[in-house]
Amino acid sequence: MQVENVTYTEGSEDKQWGRKDFPWSHELEINNKRYFGNRSFRPNQREIMNATMSGHDVFVLMPTGGGKSLTYQLPAVCVAGITLVVSPLVSLIQDQIMHLSQVNIPAAYLSGSMEWQEQQQILSELNSACCKFKLLYVTPEKIARSDNLFRHLESLHRRNFLARIVIDEAHCVSQWGHDFRPDYQGLGVLKTKFPLVPLMALTATATLSVKEDVVRALGLVNCIVFRQTFNRPNLRYAVIAKTKNCLEDINKFIKENHPNESGIIYCLSRMDCEKVSEKLREFGHKTAFYHGNMDSEERAHVQFQWSKDAINIICATIAFGMGINKPDVRFVIHHSIPKSIEAYHQESGRAGRDNLPATCLLYYNYGDYIRVKHMLTQGATECTPTNLGNNRSWNSPSSNSNPQLTTNIENLSRMLSYCENDVDCRRSIQLAHFGEKFDGSTCNRTCDNCSKAVVAVENDVSESAKQLVTLITAMGQRFSVTHVLDVFRGSMSQQVKKHMHDRLEYHGMGKHLSKGVVERILHRMVFEGILREDISKSDVFGSISSILKVDDAKAKELFSGCKLIMRFPASKGNDIFDKPESVKKSLQPSTNKLNSEDSPSQAQVSVDPALSSKIYSDLQKLRLELVNEAGGNLMPYHIMGNSELQQISKKLPKTNEELLEINGIGKVKSNKYGARILAVVTEAIERHQGMHQSTNENTAPLPKRTAEEVILAAKRGAKSGPSKGKSRKDIKSARETNKKSKLETPPGMQAPLSDSMGMRNRMESTPISEGFRSSNEFDSRSFQAGGEQRSSRILPATLTASKRLSEEGGEASSFAEFAFKRMHRI
């Protein structure tokens, strides 16, 4: 079933869906706390659930970490019947099943890789009068190929037991989406077979055209669309010039900012993955590589080791994709340019799913763009030495020959434009791609461009563009961007002389411009279609290069008066750079606001940082113990996320009632793990107080209680007390004395609770590096009509690195010191 005329209703601003007087409202509140440990709902969650439970089809656009899963898992608990969930990857399904098992919500999945007997047991349960499952997960391939599954779904439907259908990662339905899956397009059959069963489609990334394509393909009639900002305020973005020292830079960045923390490095090819991983291991990091040439068992083992924190960094191709649900990824680095802004948004979005600060770096050079373009043209998803064979040439595709390829090339061109833009807010560019307006002034300097506080100036580069067209034509349209650039800027290199291009009329016509400016003009001319790139590949070394050619029709428009306007950072001759105070004022510390009502960053009771740090560390050890005891596929974040550990280490709950006040800890988890959590907290407090007593009063520390005594006290909800030795009266007196003797920690002196906990404070309280100037800064006087050509080059970027503050003021962010001093310079 396909809908020809797409119609839908915007539900995000419709107040009726936010009401709290629906028949199921109270049950949603109770079960949200009981099973998921949430004290409130995040933006749009209540509205989405009210709409789907009212029987409407719903399309949900919500960013990664926004809480999409809850919008169908919680209704599944609250209503009779089974919720069918279609998800793209078995690994993602298994992760969801494990999460649900931890909160005692019965769920199952069916896939072709399962044993026949196991599948039969699940199907038999579906036929039972009192089916225990609340959710059934399947892959789209299972829907497409299993008639047996459809017979069981029809049986459920006849018995009014098919409560809801959910299509997760719905952008895979659209052929215009960056993760198109052919079997997803066949999911429209579900609406045809079960037209009255409410259907929910969810995605974290979809443009307007993709959204409409999904609605049409799934057969959604008059669905309600809930959209939420795709902005992820806890993520920091930077584009960095990729040099031969790229891996040394990455090593330094990780060691200074995220030692022993979890991260992903996306690489262009399988060979790149292995080389990057090997080099980082030499630098002392725990890494592994992951790519499509590995068998499924190898890939599963690597992902398992990473998820369990046995290794910290995965160097992967895009084969490491949607199955990732690890919340504490602190950095995502792109070793080369992604295929599209959509792909980049989703891949970088795998950082910081716990809503704590994380960093997204993108290393860019134009050569990688050419490689990716070649791969797209060849229909390759991963580049290997064997498929870089004979010397061949491919022209830029036309819309008539291959519309899908044309779309892919256009998407890559937009990604190129994103990388080369050193003026506009990175968030604004990303969000504009999804049709969302974002005020760059609210970025809070959490991207490289905003951190520099530059002013953009528009310049008419039409004359330079005409000169370049004339030069390329005179050179026979047989040379690369690099060679054209050298000739235009007046190079007297051996290669230029060999072809006698130093004798051309337009040789040196652009010598008054920096290399970066000329590169950007050439790339913009390609983007506008004035020039086109023919990609060629050497049959000897397999190297890929591009040849610039002129599009006659577009060039004619340029010479007929069409203007080519570009924006560049203002040069130091502009007024704002003559006023240091104005720049200094704009570089005040940023303050990230998390995109969640359930933010863990609420006001906390003042606790000795040393105690908090110790409890956080002990809770991490406890979590690992619980994982090892459980075995199987249980991951640390299935038990508790870092956010919950942080809250516990700051609030210091001593009873089950206090533990239930921690957001993310519900009654089910409290019953499972509460006693052991409270035992860790209680014992740490006792040891801490004992040490302070010994120091402050010159007395011996309190006797340590046995683990059994601590757990028993915690189960009773009793406060910490001695098992032997001093009386409770003595202990109370000692604690009062200890309280009075404690000094208040002065502002700025509080140590981070751990590397992962302290990162947020470092990133939020530190000004980005000052004095930044890029080689792309554009001297508008160079382009004034009739102006004298300037022989002086525009100087490359200079950086006054952020100085480390004194102890009284805290530390400066090494993100500023490292990432931004390596900022993208073209």
Q: Tell me: the pLDDT tens digits for 11-30?
A: 888 889 999 999 999 999 99
More confident position, 622 or 536 = 622
457 versus 323: the higher-pLDDT residue is: 457
Which residue from 271, 778, 299 is spatially nearest to 542, judged by alpha carbons? 271
Residue 198 has pLDDT above 90, yes or no: yes
Q: Is the dihedral of CA 29, 100, 166, 161 positive or negative?
A: negative
Sorting pLDDT into bands at 50, 70 and 90, what band is 177? Answer: low
Contact in structure between 170 and 214 (CB atoms under 8 Å): yes
Query: Quick one: what percent of the chain has pLDDT higher than 90?
Result: 42
Domain with CATH 1.10.150.80 in the chain: 609-744
Task: Tell me whether strands 531-537 and 544-550 are parallel, antiparallel or unpaired.
Answer: antiparallel
**801 has pLDDT over 60:** no
Q: What is the pLDDT at residue 680? A: 94
Two tokens, residue 538: 């050497």
Residue 778's alpha-carbon distances to 613, 715, 773, in angstroms, are: 49, 68, 11
Tokens 């302070």 sit on residue? 692
pLDDT of residue 728: 47
Q: Specify the amino acid at residue 355.
A: N
**3-state class percentages of the chain: helix first, strand second, coil last, to nearest 5:** 45, 15, 40
Q: How far apart are CA 267 and CA 284, in angstroms?
A: 20
**Among 50-59, 486-495, 537-546, 687-696, the least confident range:** 537-546
Start-end ranges of CATH 3.40.50.300 in the chain? 8-227
Number of neighbours of residue 106 by Cβ within 10 angstroms:
15
The amino acid present at 79, given as its one-letter code, is V
pLDDT band at 709 (very low <50, low <70, confident <90, very high): low
Per-residue pLDDT at 761: 41
- 3-class secondary structure, 573: coil
Mean of the pLDDT values across residues 536-555?
74
Q: What is the pLDDT of residue 296?
A: 82
Q: Nearest-CA neighbor of 84 among 32, 123, 136?
A: 136
Q: pLDDT tens across 582-619, in order? A: 323 333 333 334 344 444 444 445 788 889 999 999 99
pLDDT of 243 reads 92
Lowest mean pLDDT among 109-118, 255-264, 350-359, 724-733: 724-733
pLDDT of residue 160: 93
The residues, ordered by sequence, that sit 6+ positions from 496 with a Cβ below 8 Å of its Cβ are 483, 486, 487, 502, 507
Q: Using one digit for the tens of pLDDT, what is the confidence trace for 428-455?
A: 999 888 888 888 888 999 999 998 877 7
The share of the chain scoring above pLDDT 70, in percent, equals 74
The class that CATH gives domain 8-227 is alpha beta
Q: Which residue has the higher pLDDT, 467 or 691?
A: 467
Least confident of 95-109, 110-124, 366-380, 385-399: 385-399
Region of poorest pLDDT, from 37-46, 408-417, 814-823: 814-823
Measured CA to CA, the distance from residue 548 to residue 564 in angstroms comes to 18
Lowest average pLDDT, out of 346-350, 536-540, 600-604, 658-662, goes to 600-604
Per-residue pLDDT band for 385 (boundaries 50, 70, 90) equals very low
- Mean pLDDT over all residues of the chain? 78
Give the model's pLDDT for residue 11: 82
Measured CA angle at 794 (ends 363, 484), to 5 deg: 70
Tell me which of 435 and 802 has the higher pLDDT: 435
pLDDT range class, residue 788, cuts 50, 70, 90? very low
Query: Which of 802, 809, 733, 796 minimizes the C-alpha distance to 768?
Result: 802
> pLDDT (tens digit, 9 = 90+) per residue, 742-757?
444 433 333 333 344 4
- pLDDT score, position 798: 32
Which candidate, 324, 339, 335, places its Cα nearest to that of 360? 335
Q: Crossing angle for the helix pair 667-697 and 25-36, nearest 10 degrees?
A: 50
Give the residue-averaged pLDDT of 798-822: 41
Helix (H) or strand (E) holding 302: helix 296-307
The continuous run of DSSP H or E covering 315 comes out as strand 313-316
Checking if the pLDDT of 386 tops 90, the result is no
pLDDT at 542: 56
**Out of 151-155, 682-686, 715-719, 767-771, least confident range:** 767-771
Task: Tell me how far apart the alpha carbons of residues 392 and 678 are, in angstroms, rounded to a whole number.
Answer: 67
Amino acid at 192: T
pLDDT for the residue 688: 86
Instruction: Check whether 570 has a pLDDT greater than 60.
Output: yes
What is 609-744's CATH superfamily? HRDC domain (1.10.150.80)
Please state the pTM of the whole predicted model: 0.69
pLDDT classification of 394: cutoffs 50, 70, 90 = very low
Considering only CA atoms, which of 68, 24, 20, 75 is closest in space to residue 43?
A: 68
- pLDDT at position 764: 40
Top mean-pLDDT range of 330-334, 383-387, 429-433: 330-334
Lowest mean pLDDT among 79-88, 123-132, 541-550, 623-632: 541-550
Please name which of 423, 565, 459, 519 lies closest in space to residue 779, comparing C-alpha atoms.
459
Report pLDDT for 492: 93
Q: Give the orientation angle of helix 481-488 with respect to helix 462-474, to 10 degrees.
A: 110
